[in-house]
Structure formats: structure tokens, C-alpha cells
Structure 1
């Protein structure tokens, strides 16, 4: 067994640059030490798997750090090795790649149906900050698929399905053709063994005859035509992979016997110009098949695959498919994105590429003297508008980037959102405005007594969360208006000296309303005014100032306008003050001055009930309490009162007291327009002779 392992190490080292072999050997020694005693299902030492994975990575043309990462890709998950230890021994880049592969490996894929598999592929792409994470993971999966026969049948089928739905499309997106086709054939073998054997036998029976035809008839004629045009080219043929042949029969609804192109001819030249020259020569030498030409050079595939595809009728009437490409295109077609590291120049990529990151990668390599250095700095930025998270049961959800636990809660169910009291992410309590990250597992803590907090509107991003929170706030406002309408009608009934129910019935009849609640709502929302109610009873509105008359001002909370409110009597806030609102059931918002002791109590014990608000269109007069300390002398009270009058501050109440110290303390409740008005009044008071101190009164 050690001999087998030694041969694998020897093979790997043959693919590694000589200057890097010592570091690679050091990584092999480390993994053998850490995986010592561990066995694979085949009975082989576990070390065989990471070494085989590294061989695949090296075969893709990747360099030292990717190869070492492949060797160590399981040590974080399967041994007691830590990230810090990896970083210290092999560098931060290797540690990051291994950590990335480990993170992807920990995702438990519950549903591999086509529609849900796309989300897992996006998750992998979005999680991998370094493209090499994906390439190492693909290599890891390829070797596992090569040794799948050692697992129970049920597990083999599950892994093969997962590979076909997730890893094959991932390899295709990265353009890693060699890995993609081998994975497809391995999945085909395990998922559809009878069909696999049938296609395999079909290809075996016909391949020899087709090879003979190409060698004796088609390729010699093509070589002769290219020689006359003085074009140097390498002409090869390749068998189509089995899964691709089987898919063609399904896609076109034909039998295997109708598939004639199991071998394809490939012409590789030096320049793009020669690709098109060769195409013209082939079409002049053989008869083109109509509708069988594709130009992937001018219009590359999303994974940057480039080639000319055509089909012609060769000697003896056989249809032959031909691909024409440059050596660089060929390298990219076989190795995908991994091939880009080898080139300092790139082809001109059109803007139709689906994944801009691939385009940017190629563009960044133009004129570079060190492609490897550029690679190390390139980060994968895919699906930047989405975040992929898990429920506690392991189901994968897709939310917009910037989504929070509150968005997650409403995504699950409105009731969970409405009663969201807290959240755990990856087992740890987080704030409700925490921005979810790819791969997070989210658990919502609910409490039947908790209600939506208007403050959530500041950080939620999903339309569902916003609409549900606003719906709650509207319902809260509706309840407040009903309560206010009930109280107003009770007061009116007393003033009119009639029974409240009699008043209700009269209004319902006049307005065509059936329910008492709807009357309260009309009155509380001011849609049914007191004047209109007085008219219903033929009573003239009393010419007195109503105590419940509110100043003309609007309060806005986030994007909800005209929010009903009351001014807190403890601190008497004025328009222009810094204020916060406290949500009070049945009363709407209570507006408090910042720094108010009562507000501080709510912030400490009930922060979910405190919201930001803005004053708008402030008109009218508002109460505020001012305290004045002054030397007690004749005329001081008159001067203070005169100052108030001079600055248009009406006195609603005054309390004065003389102290034994020779001072006078005066407290006034004033009517003021706004905070700036108060500031001017206080400044004027300070300028009076004998005034020692003035302040605004805020009561606890």
C-alpha cells in the first residue's frame, strides 16, 4: 500500500514546478501525520484521497498554493488542525482556501431537485471568495466520484444526483470541461447503469470503424487542403462522452443508431485569423450541413468557451463535426478558468458574458507580467444582490443582500415576523438588524407578547417585511383612532346632555353606518367633525376653546405620514427639539424630548417600543415650563413677565416663591411656537438684571 502511495506522490511531484516541490512535500508529510490511522471506504489510507485531489488540481495547471490547499483540504474538518495553525505553517492564502472548501463541504444539501439546486450552486459561488476554492472542491468531488463504488447503493445514488445537479453545472460555469464531462459520465454510470452500458457498447462497436474512416479518408483530405493554403495546424479527433451522446438521443428524440457523430474532429491553429481561414477551406473542400455552424469566437459562451463549430459531409457521405480553435482557446476549453493563469494576454471578450467576473478576470490579465500575482488578489463577487441562509432544519432560503433576521422571520411566516423577539445566527444571539451572511443558519425567537417595532422599518429590506410592519402600524393607528373617537363621543354626549348610544344611533342613521366601531373610527380620524355632529342635533357649536384642541403639526415616522401622537406632559417637547416616540397601545405615539427620564426608562426596558419621528409643518402654540432663579427684589416678577410678553410667549401658569437666601424661584408654563422660540426667550431672561439662572423643566 505504501508503494501505491509513493507512486501517487511521485506523479504529483512530476506535475509541480521544481522550485515548489519541497513545500509540496512538506504539506504531504503534514497531511499524512494528521490523517494517520484514518481509512477510506475502499480500505485505502485516507492520505490517498487528498493526494489524488491535488493531482487533479495540478493537472488543471494550478500552482503551488492551490495544490497545497488540495492536499490539506480535509484537515480542518477531519482532524484537530486549526485555521491559525494552517496559516502559520502554510500561509494565509492556503488557510483561506482550505477554510473555504471546508465551509462548502459542511453545507447539507437536502433537496437536489433542479429548481432548488440552482440556489445551492449560487451559494457555493457566493461563498467562495477565491476561485481556487471552487476548483479544489470540484477536484475533491471528482475523486470521490471515481471511488463511489465502495459506498452503499443508496448513498451512491444520492451523491451522484447531487453531483449531476450541483457540481456538473458548477464545472460548466467555470468552463472546466475535462472535469464536467468526467463527472457527467460517472453520474450516468451510477444513476442509469443500463443506459450507460448500452451507450458504452454502442460507442465501442462503432468507434473503430469511425476512427478508420477519419484516418484514411477525412483527415488526409483536410490536411492536404490546409497544406496548399500554407496553414500549420494540428488535427485530432476525440470521442464524445457517453452522457453527451445519451442526452442527444433524448433531446432530439432519436435512437442511438441515428447518432453518427460519436467522434469529432478538432483543428488547432495559432491565430484567430487562421481559425476563420480554416473554416473557409473546410467549407470549400466539403459540403457544409445547413444550420450546423456556430461562431463561439465572436460570441463566446458565458464561461468564455471559444471555438468555431461546423458540420460537413465528408467522403462517402458521412457527416463529420469539426471544431476550430487556437491553442489558447483549446487550453481554456479543457481547463476552463484555471487556464487563464497561464496567459498574460487575452482575447477580446464581448459584453454579453453572463458572469462579469470572468470577463474582468481575463481583462485583468492583459499585459500582466505576473498572472499568478493577479490571481491571488482576485475575489469572486457573484450574486451580490442575494444572500443564502439556512433554517434550523437545514432548508436553504434566498433573500436579498442586506436582509436581517426580521426579513428572515417574515419570509417564513407573517406570525413569526409579527412576534419576533430575538434571533440566533449559527447558535449565537445577534441584534435584529444584523445583516445575514452566506451560509448562516438562522433561528427566530418568538414571544406572543411581542409586536412589530416601527423601528424595524429602518433596516428591513424585503417588501414582505415592510408591508407587514406597515400593516401593523396602520392597525395600531386604527385602534388609537377608535379609542379617541369613543372618548370624543362620550364628551360630546355629555355636552349635548344625551345618552351616548342615542348619539351613536343618530350618527349611524345619518351617515349610513352599521357598526359602532366605524362611527368611532370616523370621529377619531377627524373625517366626521364635531361641527357636523352639532349640526345633526341642531346645536350651535359652543364659542369656547376646546381643551382637547391640538396644535397644527404633523409627525412622520419613517415613510408613514400623519402619525397620530400626543405630547408627553413630563417633558413638553417643542417642534424643533430632538425627540423620540414611544408606542403606547390605544394612544398612538407619545412624543418625548431626548434626555427625558421617562424616555430613558423605555429605552432601557422596552427599546422595541421606541421609534424615531420627525416634526413637520409645525404651527400653533405648545406648552413648555421654564424656571427662573433671581435675586429677590421689587419689580423682578414684572420684568420677567414683560420679557415674556415682548417675545410673544403667553403665560398659562405662574408659580413664584421667595427663599430665605434672598433669592426668588419662579416657574412659568408658557405657550411657545417651537424650540427656537424657547431659546430666544431663555436668552432674553438671562440678560435681565439679577437673574442668576434659567432652565427648561423636565419632570420625571
Structure 2
């Protein structure tokens, strides 16, 4: 563990102006607050934040980040508060500690809703200051290094899974490959112990049987480059065990068939020498087709730059070669953190445009499951490169389509997409894009995102925006139905309904605005009587009995005192022939005689039933297919209102570009009443099809 003076000296080496007294105070504060707390290893708990701070000094981060690392667990695990932190160390450190604490809480939660809410807060904090993420990644890396001290296997696996699912991908997205590789290796050891042990053992065998081979190949590469006049550094290493296992799993290959287990790095003085070195190696050794990637001309979103190629050595052995300048090599290992300067103030720069997409996903996601799904889509997938006709480059996940591309350019362009040209040819919107494709999006002013796009888009940004648009459209249509029903309710009122009455009704119903009222009416969350009472209290007292909700139906053939329910599967209404099914200890379920549920062969008592004298308020269910154009829902609502049928529930069942099908539950008098409504629906131009369900 770093001693107090050692930590301060490390910071002063690269930042002579750092506040030594403040650093000392933070060190003492964390030691005092954590007190006698112990880690699973038996070490004092404060050794952990001190080691995290040490990792931050390796990256030469500013003093606020170092202090945040020292204090990052105090709010979570001691009696310290954010207010205490702000009082002692200032608002900037307090904000950073708060951001790290919010992500820490994810580790303690299994409930998706709370986990998603903490992830939402963390992403927003990270968008304002990336140092929040840097501290949290160092925190997780140190925890993974000491994971073996935890005695419970299930807890070790849970932490390892979190690391693999959240932290390693985030480390990759900000270019911290050294952190990513070590996290993956340590998590892999816990999640797949047998596979880990097998691969490590095979690598050791390979090392012992081919003693010196890696050095020999590196020397041959360097000699070929030196003969061409290039001053370079060359060295080789075995590939990461997790990387080997992943390749074996993806390609369904045994270890023996993985031919490019060794990777070599070539460091040059400048970019020109990188391309010269590439040419020399391709001339001296046969390249493997399809294995060339130029991340110098088109860097990764995290700023990673290098040329990757694979060549055959000795005609049979595949060797991956990474060619980069010495400066690129210094920055590639730790990405954004490697060229962080405390003068930057922690603002997001152009290298993390993907983070802005994450924030847009946060704003558009409707529920926790969506947020977690879209966030994973945004941070996990491998990338391809595609261009606009003017040459602007956009990086997308593998499998991305023209619609994903449109949303990557701009959310509004995605929403207005009607077609696409890929490399000058009109292609279906669902066509997957390839590396280097030039994509021209054709847009229409009245176009809208389509629900079926969700069947082929792969980016979290596109999925979130499409779902949000479809939801808003559905809400608008339900509000349109509600407005038509509201107009009919207003006609029944004893006085004219003005804005003042509506405002008072909103207050009584605890609704934010008039649009919300119309949505509640259209979706049958409010009954006619409830709306009337909210508009004019006491106005329903003199309503005729049949207009009051909950008016009872009567059934003949039941034993006195026995209750009944109308079956949801067939929605019988007066006029249908009915039968009762009696389950032991339950009320009698009333079915229509032609209900398919009766044909399931269930051994239950059947009761011959008929409708009684009171036959108002039964609920019939209709499936109504409307043309997908403005006003059709209002026309349907008008049919219901004219027929005197109250909408109990309305649900969008299916939608495409031409039609949408709604399932409607209606309160009707009897079968004849329901039949007249179906006939009236079929007669209107708004309806393509109407059937009783």
C-alpha cells in the first residue's frame, strides 16, 4: 500500500502546483473515516481507496481526481455525507464523489428498475465529467485484483459478471485497453474456471515446446524492416487467454486450430513509417486476406490508432502484426486518460461522441429494461465504418442498417427516412451495411418512424428513438379518441363546459394537463361518470340508473347467493346463449355457448344458464382494423358515441404503414346492440374490418 508521502510525491512529480496540504488532508480523512473496517483479504479497508488513488497517479490525473479516488467509498461505506465532502474538499470533488457513488450502487442491486435508475444517473454524471468513469474503472480493477479473497463463489461470479457486462466494455469505449484486458482476464478466470485453466495450461505447453520462437519471429520482422531503412522496435506476445477463448467460441474451433495465437507490435517514429513498414512486411511475408484494418486513417471512436494486419510466417503460421507510432502506443493503452490534462476541466470532447448517444438513449428510454438493453447495444458491439455522400465518417455496430446510419447522422433524419441509396443503388432499409459503404438517406417531410423497423435496427440510439416516436403517436391517437368521447360527455352535462371547468377537473383528478385528461378518457382509465363528477360535482346524482357504471346484470339458473363472473375469453353479452362452469370454491364463470374454452375437455360441472331481466352493462370485445390516416380513430369513437356505447378499454394490437388494429371493450345493452355497432363500423370509410372477438 502506498504511504501518504509516497502518494503526494507521485502527484507532485507530474503536477508541481498540486495542493500538498489538501492531498494530505484527503489521505488522513479516508483513513479516519474507514477506521477499523477490514476487506475480505484482512487488510485495512482504507488500503483500497489508497491503491485506487495510486492507479490514478499512474495516469497522471489532476489532484481533484486523486482526492476523489481517496474518498470514493466514504459516502457509501462510512457516516460521511456529500455535504461533508463539499465542506472539506470543495464542490468539484463532492460532485465527482457523488457520481462515482451512484455507479457503485448498481453493484448492490438485482432489481432492474433501481439498477437502471442508477445507471441513468451515472451516465449523466459521466457525460459532464469523464473523471467519474476513470475513478470507477480503477476502483473496479483493484476490486478484481483482490476478488479471490471473497469466500462465496456466487458473489465472486456476480462481481465478475458485472465486470464483463458493464465495466470492461466501458473501459474499451474510452480506449483503456490495459484496464479492459486485465478486467476480462480476471473475470474470465471466475466465470469459466475450467476453460481458463485449460487455455493457460496450453499456452504454457506452447511456450515450453517453442522456446524462443516469439523472439525469433520478432527478430526476423525487425531485420526485414531494418534492411528497408526503418528504425523500429518489434516485440511479440501471446494473445490474451480470454481473447483466445472468445475466438474459439465464436468460430467453434478447438485450441489446436487457432493459428494466430501470437501477436507482434511494430513501433515507428512517424505515420509515414507506419505505412512503409506495412508495405515491407506485405512484400516479405504473404498477408492473410480479409485481416487488414487501418485505424490510423479511421480511428476508433475511443481514439485508438494503429494498423492491424496478419501475415503468414514460414508459410503456415499466422501472426497478427500491429503497426503504430510510439506516441500512438503510449496513448492506446489508456485512451482518454492517457492524454488527459487537468487544465481541460473534465469536459467531454469529440472522441466520446458515443457518450452523447448514450445520453440521448437515457432521455428516450421508456422503462428500465429498455434503458439497460439500449445501453448495452451502445457500448458492446464491434464497429464498421460508413460514409455520407459528402465523406463524413460514421462508426456503427456490425449488422447496422441504413436506418441505424440515418439515426447516427441525426435523430431527425432517422425519423424522416423513407429510403436509402447504398453505394449509389437503391436498397431496402433493412440492408446491413459493410465497411466503406457510402450511404445516402432519402427523406420525406411527412414520414414517421415505423414500428417494424425495430425488427432490424441494431443500435440502441435508433431503437430508443423509434420506440419513443411510436409511443407518442399511440398516445396522440388515444387522446383523439378521448377528445371525441369527452365532447359526447360534455353534451350530457347540465351546463356548458368551459376552460375553467376543465382546469378544476384536472385539479380534482390530479392530472397535469388537458392532453392527459383526453388520454385517460380514451384509454378508459376514467369512466364517464368520473369525468362528469370532476367537471361538475354532483352532476351524476340524477342520472338514470342505466347510465351509472357498475349496473348489475342478472343471470337465471344460479343457486341463490352464488356469485358469477363473465368470462374474459368470450365476453358474453345478453342475447348470447350462455352456460356456467363451476370451479370448486370459486364463483361460476359464464361463457357463451360457442366459446372455444368449452372445448378443452376440462372435467367441470356445467350449469344451464340464461339472462335475467336486468341486462344492462355487459362488455363486448371488438377487433377493429382502421386505415392508418389522421381522423380514423375519431370516426370510430363517433360511431360508439352515436350508438350509446361506453368504451371500457382500448388497446393497439397491431400496426403497419397502411392499417392499425385496435381491440376495444364496449359496454353494450345486448347482442343486438353490439351487432348494430359492428355494422355501423363496417359502413364507415375509416374502418377496413370490424369483428367481434
Q: Which interval holds the TM-score relative to the shorter structure?
A: 0.5 to 0.7
Q: Deviations over 1:127-176 (max 9, x none)?
A: 42210101111111111111122221111111111211111111111111
Q: Deviations over 1:317-352 (max 9, x none)?
A: 4221110011232123210111222xxxxxxxxxxx
Partner of 2:482: 472
Map 1:7-406 onto structure 2 (within 5 A).
Answer: 10=6, 13-14=9-10, 17=13, 19=16, 20=18, 22=20, 23-107=22-106, 124-128=122-126, 129-151=128-150, 152-210=152-210, 212-216=212-216, 218-315=217-314, 317-341=316-340, 371-378=341-348, 381-387=356-362
Map 1:599-678 onto structure 2 (within 5 A).
Answer: 608=511, 611=514
Map 1:375-524 onto structure 2 (within 5 A).
Answer: 375-378=345-348, 381-387=356-362, 462-480=472-490, 483=492
Q: Is the 8 A contact 1:388 1:398 kept in 2?
A: no
Q: Deviations over 1:100-128 (max 9, x none)?
A: 10122123675699x99999867643342
The 1:608/1:46 distance shift into structure 2, 3 A limit, reads closer
Provide structure 1 residue ranges, at least 5 long, that are not aligned to the other structure.
342-370, 401-459, 488-564, 569-579, 584-598, 613-700
Q: Distance in 2 between matches of 1:378 and 1:304?
A: 13
Map 1:536-547 onto structure 2 (within 5 A).
Answer: none
Q: Is the 8 A contact 2:278 2:323 kept in 1?
A: yes
Q: Is the 8 A contact 1:310 1:321 kept in 2?
A: yes
Shift of 1:50: 0.5
The 1:604/1:300 distance shift into structure 2, 3 A limit, reads closer
Q: Is the 8 A contact 2:214 2:237 kept in 1?
A: no
Q: Distance in 2 between matches of 1:99 and 1:340?
A: 24
Q: Distance in 2 between matches of 1:610 and 1:142?
A: 49
Q: Distance in 2 between matches of 1:473 and 1:337?
A: 53
Provide structure 2 residue ranges, at least 5 long, that are not aligned to the other structure.
350-354, 375-469, 516-693
Match of 2:496, SS? strand
The 1:296/1:108 distance shift into structure 2, 3 A limit, reads same
Q: Is the 8 A contact 2:308 2:321 kept in 1?
A: yes
The 1:603/1:391 distance shift into structure 2, 3 A limit, reads closer
Q: Distance in 2 between matches of 1:51 and 1:398?
A: 32
Q: Deviations over 1:406-435 (max 9, x none)?
A: xxxxxxxxxxxxxxxxxxxxxxxxxxxxxx
Q: Distance in 2 between matches of 1:377 and 1:303?
A: 15
Shift of 1:230: 2.7
Match of 1:582, SS? helix
Count matched residues: 411
Q: Distance in 2 between matches of 1:609 and 1:243?
A: 53
Q: Distance in 2 between matches of 1:330 and 1:118?
A: 36
Q: Distance in 2 between matches of 1:295 and 1:609?
A: 54
Shift of 1:24: 3.0
TM-score by length of structure 2 reads 0.53
Q: Is the 8 A contact 2:311 2:318 kept in 1?
A: yes
Q: Deviations over 1:55-87 (max 9, x none)?
A: 222223423221221111111222222323323
Q: Is the 8 A contact 1:581 1:611 kept in 2?
A: no
Partner of 2:657: none
Q: Distance in 2 between matches of 1:58 and 1:123?
A: 27
Shift of 1:189: 0.7
Partner of 2:419: none
Match of 1:107, SS? helix
Q: Is the 8 A contact 2:4 2:24 kept in 1?
A: no
The 1:467/1:39 distance shift into structure 2, 3 A limit, reads farther
The 1:106/1:203 distance shift into structure 2, 3 A limit, reads same
Partner of 1:582: 501
Shift of 1:388: 6.7
Map 1:520-531 onto structure 2 (within 5 A).
Answer: none
